[in-house]
Amino acid sequence: MTDPAKYRRQIEILRHADATSVTEILTRYAIVIGAALLLWISTGQTLMLIWGFVYTVLNGVYIFVLRAPNLPKTRGAYCALFLASMIISTWYAAMTIYLTTLDSRAYEFIGICGLIGLGLYNLSRHTDLTFLALWDTLLLTLCVIGIVLAFVAKTETQSHQVAIVFAGFGINAYYMMTYLSMMRTRATLRSAQEAEVQSQKMRAVGQLTSGIAHDFNNILTVIRGNLDLASELPNLAERELMLDEARAGTDRAAHLVRQLLAFSRKSQMMRSDIALGPFLEDFAVSLRRLLPETVRIALSGTLPDLSLRADRQLLETALLNCAINARDAMHPEGGILRLSAVVDTAAHEVAILIEDTGPGVPPAMIDRITEPFFTTKQVGEGSGLGLSMVKGFAEQSGGRLELRNQPSRGLQVALILPLV
């Protein structure tokens, strides 16, 4: 996994752990604010109010940033969020230790409850946040040590001091064992996921054998047949015609290989800035030449004056695959193929939409038609790589592919790509 992808995943995990449950967030704020007010009333110390206010503000800003839709998924952003989480946890834990130093059983009880709450929260939120889990475990260890020292200082008998030390050791050992158990569980899950990936690869090889071999054999038959004919024909013009057909066959074979590479995210992309409006206008003109007269091309009248950065040839190939699928869906009656673009300025991306007036896709299949080698066509009519190649191109370009059936009739394919 590349660094940008790794940090994007880490931030998404952090967002899911800390900023998705509104109920949990509001409950935590209510407890902290309520505790700060009660402690201030009972002790008269302004520090209690300062603690509650600072924690609520810091955590509120942290969650607001985490929930921002345009939050950058970079290493710097992850490090800043990681540091903010460390500071917030440390600020919360500081009050836990401070309360145990006060000469009051009630405050000691509140401090211990705060420690337990912090421990349960930190252990429950980590799934793949290794560094934060390590920090939180260390923080809990320091809290336990601080509380043990505070209690030992207040206890006169040696037997009670030993009991307190062992109790602290037991609490800390529990958290450490829970953390190690979590790590082992993660390792087991990762091994199971890797085994499943390998199994999927083997199934894909089987599908490749049945789905691609037929296409390659057809292409090779065309090439071989034309070469054989070219060697027998005396007329130079006729020989050149056969050689042109053989060259076209090699181009089709190369295109099929390019589809496979795009699906596997291993094709070499030659990115450039593409003016979206003129590009779609030129593409619509090309479609009118390629598609039959029964299919009418409807281009949106207001195209955005923006640019995106992508491989122009692969983008054309991806949209052509979508258009061919739309043509096949409307065969033989024909219909309308709509081409448009919708800009999301907040997410800084554009969705290129291709819509047809065909029957749509059965709901049970709509999640499968982007799988490699999955096709609803007859054997030999399609390799099942068209939409999987489009999906691979979109993801390799930093975007995504979305499919949805339209309420009226037909399928909408949204190729979503980042803007320049």
pLDDT for position 198: 64
Strand 400-405 with 411-418, pairing: antiparallel
pLDDT for position 256: 66
Q: Within a 10 A sphere around the Cβ of 362, how many other Cβ atoms?
A: 11
What's the token pair of residue 166? 């062992």
pTM: 0.43
Mean pLDDT of 340-352: 87
Residue 320 pLDDT > 80:
yes
pLDDT over 70 percentage in the chain:
81
In whole angstroms, give the CA distance from residue 363 to residue 241: 46
First to last CA, the chain: 24
pLDDT for position 209: 54
| 404-415 pLDDT per residue, tens | 888 777 888 999
pLDDT for position 380: 44
| 267-304 pLDDT per residue, tens | 566 788 888 888 998 888 888 877 888 889 898 877 77
Task: With cut-offs at 50, 70 and 90, classify the pLDDT of residue 379.
Answer: very low
Mean pLDDT of 162-173: 77
Length of the chain: 420
From 178, 13, 2, select the one nearest 85 (Cα to Cα): 13
In whole angstroms, give the CA distance from residue 185 to residue 46: 44
What's the token pair of residue 39? 């402690």
Q: Where are the domains of the chain?
A: 3-154, 205-263, 271-418
**To the nearest whole number, what is the mean pLDDT of the chain?**
78
What DSSP string describes 386-419? HHHHHHHHHHHTT-EEEEEE-SSSSEEEEEEEEB
Residue 377 pLDDT > 60:
no
Task: With cut-offs at 50, 70 and 90, classify the pLDDT of residue 53.
Answer: very high
Q: Within a 10 A sphere around the Cβ of 243, how many other Cβ atoms?
A: 14
pLDDT for position 197: 60
User: Across 38-103, where does the E strand assignment appear?
Assistant: none
In whole angstroms, give the CA distance from residue 99 to residue 36: 12
Q: Which residues pair with residue 338 across a beta bridge?
A: 298, 355
In whole angstroms, give the CA distance from residue 339 to residue 345: 20
In whole angstroms, give the CA distance from residue 251 to residue 257: 10
Mean pLDDT of 364-380: 63
What's the token pair of residue 80? 């800043």
To which residue do tokens 């940090």 refer?
Answer: 7
CB 246 within 8 A of CB 240: no
CATH of 271-418, one of 3.30.565.10, 3.40.190.10, 1.10.3720.10, 1.20.58.220: 3.30.565.10
What's the token pair of residue 162? 């030993």
Please give the C-alpha separations between residue 260 and each of 113, 252, 391, in angstroms, as whole numbers. Answer: 57, 13, 12
In whole angstroms, give the CA distance from residue 8 to residue 4: 6
| 188-220 pLDDT per residue, tens | 776 776 776 666 656 655 555 555 665 666 677
Query: 246 or 378, which is more confident?
Result: 246
| 103-149 pLDDT per residue, tens | 777 777 777 777 777 777 766 665 566 677 777 777 778 777 877 77
From 346, 350, 267, 340, select the one nearest 309 (Cα to Cα): 350
Is the peptide bond preceding residue 332 cis, with omega within 30 degrees of 0?
Answer: yes
What's the token pair of residue 109? 């009880």
From 80, 103, 209, select the one nearest 153 (Cα to Cα): 103
